[in-house]
Amino acid sequence: MPRIRTSTAFGIDIGGSGIKGAVVDLERGDLATQRVKYLTPNPSTPGSVAEVVARLVKEAGWTGELGATFPAVIQHGVAKTAANVDKSWIGTDVDKVLTDATGCEVTVLNDADAAGIAEARFGAARGVDGVVILLTFGTGIGSALLLDGQLVPNTELGHLELDGHDAEKKASSAAKDNEDLSYKQWAKRVQRYLRHVENLFTPDLFVVGGGVSKYADKWVPLLELSTPVKPAQLLNNAGIVGAAMAAHEKFAE
């Protein structure tokens, strides 16, 4: 029997420093409740992270569709990598761990992929056909590849080799901060990186996210590319919204 379509779902964004969640209005692409955040436990083992997720869900009184982002390559619910969380997650069925902890059927996806889904439906990439690449500049560089609004998961474009290094080691916002680069200096690195991605994929649009996107006016105008570049619109809520959307669409099939 098909599930009844509802207008809300719960989204959780699991990161290396914080775990946050809220009920999402799926028609507006916005939070329907106040976002609640807890610090990511240290060590961030499967058991300790699952406890925090279960607490968020219990405190919200939520029993319906639940989506969660995770900082890893996720294949059929299983973590193939682990970025900024305990390495014991590698090989772990994240779907099952969180489903068992919450009592909800959980859909897990990569954090940048979730942001890409949200931006394609409600944000900077809304209504854009063709190839869209979202890149989140933070501790590393996360990526989401979309074709006509549909996600191609687990691209990990931050790990493209550039000048003998992982691109994110040179062009992430962490690299900017660690090396005390000005926006002009950092934009030159981002320019080189984006030109490389552009040559590989010939996208119709780049969407740039991460905390540094709040200051897009300081560096995006310095980029010289054939591809238009837009700052992400959903900012810190993109992961929560995208996770909730992914869960809802999975169970609406």
Relative orientation angle of helices 94-102 and 46-60, to the nearest 10 degrees: 40
Cα angle vertex 18, ends 174, 63, to 5°? Answer: 140
Average pLDDT over residues 103-115: 96
For residue 218, the tally of other CB atoms under 10 A from its CB is 14
Give pLDDT, residue 252. Answer: 55
Give tens-digit pLDDT for 151-165.
Answer: 999 999 999 998 899
Give pLDDT, residue 48. Answer: 98
CATH topology of 8-111+237-251 equal to that of 124-232? yes
Relative orientation angle of helices 238-251 and 111-122, to the nearest 10 degrees: 80
The two three-digit tokens of residue 152, written as one number: 């191609």
Give tens-digit pLDDT for 207-244.
Answer: 999 889 999 999 999 999 999 999 999 988 999 999 99
- Map out the domains of the chain as residue ranges: 8-111+237-251, 124-232
Percent of the chain with pLDDT over 70: 96
* pTM tops 0.85, yes or no: yes
pLDDT band at 3 (very low <50, low <70, confident <90, very high): very low
Give pLDDT, residue 4. Answer: 40
Average pLDDT over residues 72-97: 95
Give pLDDT, residue 6. Answer: 63
Residue 123 predicted with pLDDT over 80: yes
In CATH terms, the fold of domain 8-111+237-251 is Nucleotidyltransferase; domain 5 (3.30.420)
CB burial class (10 A; 0-12, 13-18, 19+) of residue 42? exposed
Give pLDDT, residue 251. Answer: 61
Average pLDDT of the chain?
94
**Cα–Cα nearest to 132, from 165, 157, 111:** 157
Choices 3.30.420.40, 3.40.50.720, 3.40.50.12140, 3.40.50.12590: CATH for 124-232: 3.30.420.40
Percent of the chain with pLDDT over 90: 90
Give pLDDT, residue 139. Answer: 86
pLDDT band at 39 (very low <50, low <70, confident <90, very high): very high
Give tens-digit pLDDT for 179-206.
Answer: 999 999 999 999 999 999 999 999 999 9
Structural contact between residues 208 and 137, judged by C-beta atoms closer than 8 angstroms: yes
C-alpha to C-alpha distance for 158 and 162, rounded to whole angstroms: 10
